[in-house]
Amino acid sequence: MDRLQKTLLFSCVLFYAFASTLAQDCKNYAFSSNTKFSTCSSLPVQNSFLHWTYDPTNHTADIAFRHGGVSTSRWVAWALNIDKSGMTGAQSLVAFQNSSGQMSAYTSPVASTGISTLTAGKLSFEVPMIRAEFLSSNSEIIIYATLKLPTGRTSFNQVWQEGPVSSDNPGAHALASANTNSVGTVDFSSGQTSAGGGVGNSKRRKRNVHGVLNTVAWGILLPLGALTARYLKVFKSADPAWFYLHAFCQSSAYIVGVAGWGTGLKLGSDSPGITYDKHRNIGITLFCLGTLQVFALLLRPKKDHKYRLYWNIYHHAIGYAVIALSIANIFEGFDILDPAKKWKRAYIGVIIFLAAVAAILEALTWFIVLKRKDDESDKYPQGVNGNGNGNGVNGYGHGGYRPQAA
C-alpha cells in the first residue's frame, strides 16, 4: 500500500469517526427507555436537540426534547408558539429537579400579560403525557411528551430556553445571544426545521442600543466632564472655557442617558416578568441624582455668596457618587447582556485610560498649585508689601497688603 492509499484510508477513517460523532448527537442517540423516534433535529444553540414521531392518523406528535450541559439547579423548557415567534404566547413544556430530588415536568402557557414565573397551567392544545429525566452522566435533562397538535397544521414556531431554579421556582433566564437566538420553526410532518426569528432580533437590537447609549453617557461622557472641571480650571487661561466644556459634557451625558433610560423602560414593558432588580434600582437612582444635578445647576449661588461653599460640597459629592454608580451599573449590564468579551474588555480599557489620565493630571495640578504658592510667597514675603517696606505698612502709610488666593 503506497503513501497515497494510506493517506486516503486514514482520511476516510477520520471522516467516518467525525460523522459518527455528529450522528450520535441526534439520529443514533440511545434513550434510556429504548424509545425510538423517526425524526430528530440538532437545534442551533444551547446544546439542545428535538426528537419526534408524528402520527398523521390522530394528528399527534411524540417528542423528546434534550438539553445538555445543565445542572440540577437549572430548569429547561421547550415550547410551540402557535401565532407568534417569541416567548409571548408560547405553549411551554417545563422541567427541573425539585428540592426533593424528583424531576418535575409540567405545562406552562406564557401569557402576553406576564411571565413572572413559569407556573403550571393548561396549554391551548392537549398534552396527554409529559415526564422528564435527568442524566447525570452527561448533565442532560430530557422532556418526553405527547402533543395533540392543533387541527389543520403541522408547522409551528418553536422556542427553547433554560434558566436558574430557586426554591422550586424557575427564575428569569439570561439574555445572552444563545438565549435570544433560541427560536425557530418545526414541521412535524415534513421533518423540516429552521432557526431565527424577528422578535428575538428586534429585542436584541433594543438591548444593544440601551447598553451603548448608557455606556457612552454615564460611563464615558460623565467622567470626561468631571475631569475637565477638576483639572482644567487650575489653568487661568482656561477660565471660563473649562466651565462651558464641563457643562457641555454633563448636559450631553444627561440627554443621551435619558434616551438610554427610556429604552430600558421600553425593554421592561416588552419583557413582563423578566426583571433585574439590582440593575434597575441603580438605574432609577442614577436618573434621579442626574436630574437633581441639572436642577441644582439652576440654583447655583454666585462665587461670593455665603452658601456657595456648601453648594460646591453637595455638587461634588453627588457628581462623584453618580460616576461610581454608573460604572458599577454598566458592569451589571455586561453581566446581563453577556456580549462578546471584547466589548467588556474595551470598556475596561477606557476606564483604565481615564484613571491614568486623572492620576497624571492630579499630580500635575498639585505641582502647579504648590509652585504658584511658592512663587507668591517669594514675591510677597510675610510682612513685606510689593514696595519692599516692612511692618505690614505700605509706602503710603495704609494697611498692609496680602495677595489673594488663586
For residues 162 and 268, membership in a common domain is answered with no
For residues 60 and 179, membership in a common domain is answered with yes
140, HSE (Cβ side, Cα atoms, 13 Å): 18
Q: Which amino acid is at 232?
A: L
- For residue 95, is pLDDT > 70? yes
Residue in this structure with the C-alpha cell 511692618, named with its chain if needed: 391
Of 84 and 112, the one with more pLDDT: 84
Domain that holds residue 47: 26-196
For residues 185 and 251, membership in a common domain is answered with no
For residues 230 and 275, membership in a common domain is answered with yes
- For residue 83, is pLDDT > 90? no
pLDDT tens profile 359-386 = 998 898 888 878 877 777 766 665 555 4
Angle at 167 between CA 166 and CA 173, to 5 degrees: 25
For residues 248 and 295, membership in a common domain is answered with yes
For residues 250 and 305, membership in a common domain is answered with yes
Structural domain ending residue among the three candidates 133, 168, 196: 196
Structural domain ending residue among the three candidates 157, 175, 196: 196
CATH number for the domain harbouring residue 262? 1.20.120.1770
Residue 371 domain-assigned (yes or no): yes
Average pLDDT value for residue range 124-129: 93
Residue 387 domain-assigned (yes or no): no
pLDDT tens profile 327-371 = 999 999 888 776 777 888 999 999 999 999 999 988 988 888 788
Residue 385 domain-assigned (yes or no): no
Residue 397 domain-assigned (yes or no): no
For residues 317 and 283, membership in a common domain is answered with yes
Under the banding of pLDDT at 50, 70 and 90, the label for residue 241 is confident
For residues 189 and 55, membership in a common domain is answered with yes
Residue 14 domain-assigned (yes or no): no
For residues 117 and 213, membership in a common domain is answered with no
Residue 43 domain-assigned (yes or no): yes
- pLDDT for 390: 44
Residue 403 domain-assigned (yes or no): no
Residue 110 domain-assigned (yes or no): yes
- For residue 236, is pLDDT > 50? yes
* CB burial of residue 347 (10 Å; 0-12, 13-18, 19+): middle
Q: What is the tally of structural domains in the chain?
A: 2
What is the chain's mean pLDDT, rounded? 80
User: Residues in the chain, how many?
Assistant: 406
CATH number for the domain harbouring residue 74? 2.60.40.1210
Under the banding of pLDDT at 50, 70 and 90, the label for residue 5 is very low
As a whole number of angstroms, the distance between CA 382 and CA 391 comes to 9
Structural domain ending residue among the three candidates 147, 180, 196: 196
CA 48, 53, 56, 60: dihedral to nearest 10 degrees? -70
For residues 234 and 316, membership in a common domain is answered with yes
Residue in this structure with the C-alpha cell 466644556, named with its chain if needed: 245
The three cell numbers of residue 70 are 445543565
Residue 133's H or E segment, with its range, is: strand 126-135
As a whole number of angstroms, the distance between CA 213 and CA 258 comes to 9
For residues 350 and 333, membership in a common domain is answered with yes
- pLDDT for 271: 61
For residues 113 and 88, membership in a common domain is answered with yes
pLDDT tens profile 147-187 = 999 887 888 889 999 999 888 888 888 877 777 788 888 88
